[in-house]
Amino acid sequence: MHELGIARNVVAIASDAAGGRRIRRVTLEIGQLSGVMADAIRFCFDTVAQGTPLEEAALDIREIEGRARCGACGSTFATPTLMTACDCGSRQCERIAGTELNVKSIELEEAA
């Protein structure tokens, strides 16, 4: 389960960015084609965040739909899987969304 390692990295990235301040919320973008299971990240996050500035922080995950552009006809279309072909039948497609895994934002508590 590589999501445990990803959750650890998210906590490390957010902790470093916070500079010792408590974190209230972390927003992640996870593409549907990234191979990362959002539910597994949610499951691991609270455990991994214990004893860090993210303890008790909310985790907001935004799932990004897979999208591609056809190299044959130029159309842009939704791709629920990496193997989805264009309506024209072509499989010469460039993925333009859905493979990302980003820490989109970190909400910090106000300084005392």
pLDDT of the residue at 55:
94
| 31 within domain boundaries | yes
| 85 within domain boundaries | no
Q: 51 CB contacts (<8 Å, ≥6 apart)?
A: none
What is the pTM for the complete model shown?
Answer: 0.86
| 72 within domain boundaries | no
Domain range for 11 is 3-66+99-108
CB 81 within 8 A of CB 65: no
pLDDT of the residue at 84:
95
Give me the count of residues in the chain.
112
Report residues of the chain scoring pLDDT below 70. Answer: 1, 111-112
Number of domains in the chain: 1
| 38 within domain boundaries | yes
CATH of the domain at 13: 3.30.2320.50
pLDDT of the residue at 25:
97
Tell me, rounded to whole angstroms, the distance of Cα 70 from its chain centroid.
24
